Amino acid sequence: MTAILISEVGPRDGLQSIDRIMPIEAKKAWIAAEAAAGVREIEVGSFVPASLLPQMADTAALVAFAGTIPGLSVAVLVPNLKGAELAIRAGARKLSIPFSMSETHSLKNVRKDHAAMVAEIGAIAARVAQEEDPPHFEVGLSTAFGCTIEGHVPEDTVIRLAEASIAAGAAEVGLSDTTGYADPAQVRRLVRKVKAAVGDARLNSLHLHNTRGLGLANALAGLEEGITTLDASLGGLGGCPFAPGASGNIVTEDLAFMLAAMGYETGIDLDALMRVRAILADALPGEPLYGFTPDAGLPLGLDRRTA
């Protein structure tokens, strides 16, 4: 049975995309409940200035809290070297920097062109290497499948910048469908090409959105090409505040159910995962929560032990 890691990104990608600020105690309850349900990696926040994203102002405190949960990989997003310094100081075990394949989006998102981003990746990699027990450093190749500002993003650009990221010192790259433009054929093609360029072990993860209803189909296409880590957000919260129209992360509950039904090993207790939604509903009253599986319920006869 193949093991697949579902990386929960709701506390970061989900919450950064809504206006209201979730109380830290509710965030802690969310993180603890998902970990108890068997989720093994959670992106708890991002080290960006609170003036830009006040929803992320408590990230250091959440890293400290999540770090006390046995067996949980604590991940964060960092926009630059300063953010990486803060993340390392806080004790995060996985750092991910978004590197937009659309240069226009990169300038709007982190105010750096491609050359400056490669230099920033190199600086973070060098800083990570100074640690006695260095955290895992990954580059998320965002807008890899298309951009709401530029439109088409050439696959050759993605491959070239993936190679540049690894050469600069990143441990691996991940492909991100930031704007919900991907289709299964494109996912298969780009995963194959990037793996061929940087090596199988350097591309393991996909961050997909369900903006046009293709999230799970794209996830399946990635699985068929050897992807072993899939990002998802509880209740489908999230998008990208710097990419107009980019809504709809894959729903964690739907993804976990699909994988369980197909016989993949995730370690997640599906019943316990469904119950975590109540924490979000109570803390964010009126905020839309998505997902077909929570509405329909789990089917009779599903072997929950395979989850």
The catalytic position among 88, 240, 274, 279 is 240
- Residue-level pLDDT at 247: 60
The C-alpha torsion from 104 through 105 and 108 to 112, rounded to 10°, is -70
Is residue 147 part of the annotated active site? The answer reads: no
Tokens at residue 93, please?
A: 């075990």
CA angle 12, 58, 35 (to 5 degrees): 55
For 6-25, give the DSSP string: EEE-IIIIIGGGSSS---HH
- For residue 41, what is the enclosing H or E element? strand 41-46
Dihedral pair phi/psi, residue 65, rounded to 5°: -65, -50
Dihedral pair phi/psi, residue 281, rounded to 5°: -60, -40
Q: Is the pLDDT of residue 214 over 70?
A: yes
- Residue-level pLDDT at 179: 87
In SS3 terms, 161-202 reads as HHHHHHHCCCCEEEEECCCCCCCHHHHHHHHHHHHHHHCHHH
**Alpha-carbon torsion 146, 190, 178, 170, what sign?**
negative
Dist. CA 31–CA 10, nearest whole Å: 10
- Residue-level pLDDT at 135: 98
86-90, 101-105, 295-299: range with highest mean pLDDT: 86-90
Q: Are 242 and 204 in contact (CB under 8 A)?
A: no
- For residue 95, what is the enclosing H or E element? strand 94-100
Q: CATH number of the domain that 254 lies in?
A: 3.20.20.70
Average pLDDT over residues 72-79: 97
Tokens at residue 301, please?
A: 């006869």
What is the pLDDT confidence band of residue 305, given thresholds at 50, 70 and 90? low
Q: Are 38 and 267 in contact (CB under 8 A)?
A: yes
Q: Shortest CA distance to 124 belongs to which of 176, 77, 59? A: 77
What is the pLDDT confidence band of residue 301, given thresholds at 50, 70 and 90? confident
Q: Are 174 and 206 in contact (CB under 8 A)?
A: yes
Dist. CA 59–CA 76, nearest whole Å: 8
C-alpha 219: how far from chain center: 13
Average pLDDT over residues 90-108: 95
Per the DSSP assignment, residues forming a β-bridge with 99 are 141
Q: Are 249 and 237 in contact (CB under 8 A)?
A: yes
- For residue 137, what is the enclosing H or E element? strand 136-142
- Residue-level pLDDT at 239: 55
Q: State how many domains the chain has.
A: 1
From first CA to last CA, the distance across the chain in angstroms is 11
Give the structural domain span for 94.
5-306
Q: Is the pLDDT of residue 242 over 60?
A: no
- Residue-level pLDDT at 270: 96
Dist. CA 48–CA 198, nearest whole Å: 29
Per the document, the length of the chain is 307
Average pLDDT over residues 253-266: 96
Of the candidate ranges 160-169, 171-180, 236-245, 268-277, the one whose mean pLDDT is the lowest: 236-245
**Alpha-carbon torsion 54, 230, 5, 77, what sign?**
negative
Q: Shortest CA distance to 97 belongs to which of 59, 140, 56? A: 140
Torsion-angle region of 176 (φ positive above 0: left; ψ -120 to 50: alpha; else: beta): beta
